[in-house]
Amino acid sequence: MKRQGIVILVAVLVLGVAAAGGIFFFLSNQDATGGTDTPSGNNQDTGTGQGQTDTGPPPTPTQEQTVEILIARIDIPANTLIDSDSIDPESESYLFETDEIPISRYNQQSGELITDLRELRGKVTTRLIQASDQIERGAFTDPGLAERIPQDDGEGLPRSKAYPILVNRLTGVSDLIKQGDFVDVLVTFSFPRDDNNPLAPGRVQAFPLLRSTKTVVQQAEVLDILYPPPQPAAEGETPAAQSPGQQRQTGAQAGPPPPPGTATEGGEEGSEEGAETPATPQQTTQAQVNAPQATFEWIVILAVDDQEAELLEFAKMEEAQITLVLRGSGDDEFEPTIGVTMDLMISEFGLPEPEIVDINAPGE
């Protein structure tokens, strides 16, 4: 009886081992095939129990977009003026090249990094930029006057210098000159008549002063225009009129005049009385600007050579009148002149010579 129980126990163990082996073999086949075939033909994953459909290999992660930024191609010293050659890829003086960075990194520094070469034209470096360094806005500034003086044009002429001239509305083309324009400069000297050659006694001196006018500078570039600060108006007084140049500087800050029919001080909106009111202060100011007043003065900075600067300085010391003549766009011709004196006006240009009038009193 005891022997029979042992046999039964051994048989149970053998059957258990066989069953475990069968289950292990079955599960191994399922892992190898990825699931069991269903009647619909879909291969379902039985290992996870989630019932997900196998569509192939997992998708490749999307690559992050990039942005092209500017970097230094070579070392760029401080105080370097970025001219047209510096940003021309075809030029030997080209200073920059491009590099790609992830857009997420660019967004973090978009206020500093530069992507457009045109943004650098006319700027000056404030520090050394080493090769391969990123180009940042903080490394550049607007040029001073010294950087804006024209470079040598390659003809072996000395580089121009900056010279200031004080002008008014009559001698400064009514303040219609702008930075970058080109002008000629006329000077007019006045000489007292020679006392060693007086007119006959008792006769009026027709020309007590002798004047001479000559063009001494041609095609001088306007580097800058400096206006005096506006004087605050006293209480109850009308503000001083601004020149056209001052209006260009402050026009962006001032708003447009009110449209017709809007309410104004002393009248109601849309009223007939308001339509017949006198000119507004803005209209009065514009009329004052258009008036040829020579009292308002400002300074024009010209690019001249040393010889031209000497001529202008001598004219200023002799209190000669200095007048600017604006050149048209693209006019770069040199025009020979002979100047003007009273003798030349009479002999060369046909000015009638006035007769000397006898003013002797009767009986003398």
In a shared domain, residues 93 and 169: no
**Least confident segment among 43-52, 68-77, 136-145:** 43-52
- In this prediction, residue 270 carries a pLDDT of 44
Tell whether 188 is covered by a domain: yes
- In this prediction, residue 259 carries a pLDDT of 40
- Residue 323's CB is within 10 A of a number of other CB atoms, namely 20
The model's pTM is 0.54
Which residue type does 259 have? Answer: P
Distance CA 77, CA 79 (A): 7
- In this prediction, residue 53 carries a pLDDT of 54
In a shared domain, residues 302 and 176: yes
Q: If you write DSSP's letter for every residue of 67-113 in order, what string do you get?
A: EEEEEESS-B-TT-B--TTTT-TTSTT--EEEEEEEHHHHHHSTTTB
**202-245: per-residue pLDDT in tens?**
444 555 678 999 999 999 999 999 998 877 766 766 665 566 66
Q: CATH number, domain at 136?
A: 3.90.1210.10
Structure tokens at 203: 């006769």
In a shared domain, residues 98 and 226: no
β-bridge pairing 321-326 and 161-168: unpaired
- For residue 281, is pLDDT > 50? no
- In this prediction, residue 19 carries a pLDDT of 79
Tell whether 165 is covered by a domain: yes
In a shared domain, residues 106 and 169: no
Tell whether 10 is covered by a domain: no
pLDDT confidence of 318, banded at 50, 70, 90? very high
Indicate the number of domains in the chain. Answer: 2
* DSSP tag of 183: E
pLDDT, average across residues 239-256: 55
Tell whether 98 is covered by a domain: yes
Structure tokens at 175: 């303040």
Tell whether 362 is covered by a domain: no
**φ and ψ at 349, to 5 degrees?**
-115, 5
In a shared domain, residues 221 and 327: yes
**97-155: per-residue pLDDT in tens?**
999 999 999 999 888 999 999 999 889 999 999 999 999 999 999 988 888 888 776 67
Residue with token string 């940003």: 87
Which domain, by its residues, includes 173?
154-196+206-232+242-250+292-354
In a shared domain, residues 95 and 219: no
Tell whether 255 is covered by a domain: no
In a shared domain, residues 126 and 181: no
Quote the percentage of the chain above a pLDDT of 70. 66
In a shared domain, residues 326 and 183: yes
pLDDT top residue among 65 and 152: 65
* Residues facing residue 67 across a β-bridge: 101
- In this prediction, residue 360 carries a pLDDT of 67
Residue 132 · residue 71 · CB < 8 Å = yes
In a shared domain, residues 189 and 70: no
- For residue 324, is pLDDT > 80? yes
**φ and ψ at 29, to 5 degrees?**
-65, -35
- In this prediction, residue 214 carries a pLDDT of 97
